[in-house]
Structure 1
Amino acid sequence: MAELLPDPVFFASLPKVYSSGSVILRDERDRVLIEKPSYRDHWLLPGGHVDPDEDVRMTARREVREELGLDIEVGRLLTVNWLPALVESGRPMGVHFVFDGGVIPSDVLEREVVLQESELEEWRLVEESQLHMLSTWGSRRALTAMRVLRGEEPADLIGFGG
């Protein structure tokens, strides 16, 4: 029996979606590691956009390795944020995944983080109350992920915004 091949016309007609993955990486005092990219005004969680040949968990691990020089195991999914398309700006729909990056003692982070200087200006550990340093959508994702980590709510879709 011949294998049915996907119809390229059908796939071309579907909306485009970009996807990214990041991590909540904490120290022993539950401070969250954030990074300041040189190409944005706000801070970000470690992570980035999915490449065509990888899944989103692989993306999160690769990005942490590239940006911070840390090879971590990416843990459980904490939250998903779906972003609608912004037709007027040309932005397609997006799906952003936030995973548990685990706990690394602050002295180990100080010793082992190697900042990707081509993209990042600095990194720091911040208290949960300082997560407003991220963008509005980034702080919403991070705060939701922290509540999930504490068991205050289940991992879930956090809806629109972005």
Structure 2
Amino acid sequence: MASRSRLWCGVSALFTDSRGRVILEDVGYRAVCLLPGGAADAGETPSLAVTRKVHEELGLIRRFSRALAVDWLPPGTPGYPQGFPGEMIYVFDGGTLTEDDLARIRLPSREVTSIRRVEPALLPRRMDSGNARRTLAALRARINGTGPTILEDGHPLAPTRLDDLQILRTPRKPQLWPWHSGPVPAGLPVKQAWGWLFATDGRILVLIGQDTGSACLPGGTVEPADHGSPARTLRREVWEEARVRIGDPLYLGYLHDDTCSRHCARARYAALITDWEPPSRDEATGQTYTRVLATPEQAAQLFDWGNEAASQLAAVHTARENLGPPAPARQPLTELLPRRPVHAPGDQ
């Protein structure tokens, strides 16, 4: 009978805060950060092991029922002791920790010295390369809403579209501006107009920069040619960026940006996608975008909006009900594929 290989079994928990930053531990025995977790005891199931380790290291009582990733580390992986036989590591979804949750964290007297919140794109600066790959793969699996992704040394065996695009490899820009559902006050200039654009299945369009992996909603800066109409800005920008045609925009509200030299509003609209043609290079930015469809909640996980996201998402779903598409089913993000050519707005 062939001999069976012996492997270690490890567990970790992926927690994020309300802004989507990953919770990492500083530990006294490593120069790099780690996810909460560690080795499973002999005969201990992975779900019980991660529950135990999170309680020991963070003082939190949690139950874990969903694995985001299962990774195989090869023998001899750097950073492990001599004779390391390889390891199977389960990454469990710890969900979002509120500020109250974070305030309840109690660190042990040794080993874990502090915790930190890390922007996903900066994980490779804080973790060793294998741990960073594994964590990003698990985070993408969480956004996709799929079952556990199977990894070998942090590399997915069946990469999703998010893996192919290397989503979250570039730091997100914080957009923590207050959300207002009413009209823009007189005297507050509208600087930009962005759109939640619905496909027939209720999912919305997100643009991914092919050079950066950064996500954005379609839309852009109000220009003189728009004659002061943010809705016209949206139509123009959606065509220029994504080669998409939309129906009549429905105003949702605005974000009050108080970080620029002069306060301004960034308007949000909803609209139905009516037609599209293959994407082309956006002359204004030099970017060629990959167009993906996501539920509104999945899309929000690609941005750094903080607690203000909830009110905006509520407005988006109200608009969806008014526009007619169904509540979207959670599924992996998919690409909006080309079909027949269409004419640009205003063409004969």
What is the rounded CA distance, in whole Å, between the counterparts of 2:25 and 2:50 in structure 1? 14
Structure 2 residue identity aligned to 1:159: E
Unpaired runs of 5+ in structure 1?
Answer: 1-9
* Structure 1 position 152, deviation (Å): 7.6
Counterpart-to-counterpart distance in 1, 2:132 and 2:5: 27
Distance change in 2, residues 1:96/1:63 (3 Å): same
- Aligned match of 1:129: 121
**Residue 66 of structure 1 pairs with residue 56 of structure 2:** yes
Deviation at 1:139, TM superposition (A): 0.4
Q: Deviation string for 1:50-83 (max 9, x for gaps)?
A: 1013111111111010001011121311111112
Equivalent pairs counted in the alignment come to 151
Q: Counterpart in 1 of 2:135?
A: 142
Structure 1 residue 155: Cα displacement: 2.6
The structure that has the greater radius of gyration is 2
Picking from 88, 95, 98, the partner of 1:102 is 95
1:29 aligns with 2:19: yes
Counterpart code for 1:39:
Y
Query: What is the distance in 2 between the residues matched to 1:153 and 1:71?
Result: 25
The normalised TM-score by structure 2 is 0.41
Q: Tell me the equivalent position of 1:117.
A: 109
Q: Distance in 1 between matches of 2:145 and 2:16?
A: 18
Amino acid at match of 1:38: G
1:39 aligns with 2:29: yes
Query: Residue 34 of structure 1: SS of its match in structure 2?
Result: strand
Cα separation, 1, equivalents of 2:65 and 2:20: 16
Q: Is the CA contact (8 Å cut-off) linking 2:138 and 2:149 kept in structure 1?
A: no
Find out whether 1:76 has 2:69 as its counterpart.
no
For 1:60, give the aligned amino acid. Answer: V
- Deviation at 1:113? 0.5
Distance 1:117 1:135 in 2: 25
Which protein has greater RCO, CA pairs closer than 8 Å, 6+ apart?
1
Compared with structure 1, are the counterparts of its residues 127 and 160 closer, same or farther at alpha carbon in structure 2 (3 Å cutoff)? closer
Residue 85 (structure 2) pairs with residue 92 (structure 1): yes
Q: Is the 8 A contact 1:75 1:102 kept in 2?
A: no
8 Å CA contact retained: 1:24, 1:99: yes
Q: Normalising by structure 1, what TM-score?
A: 0.84
- The aligned amino acid for 1:160 is D
Structure 1 vs Structure 2: percent identity of aligned residues? 33
> How far 1:154 sits from its partner (Å)?
5.4
| Separation in 2, partners of 1:125, 1:57 | 24
Deviation at 1:48, TM superposition (A): 0.5
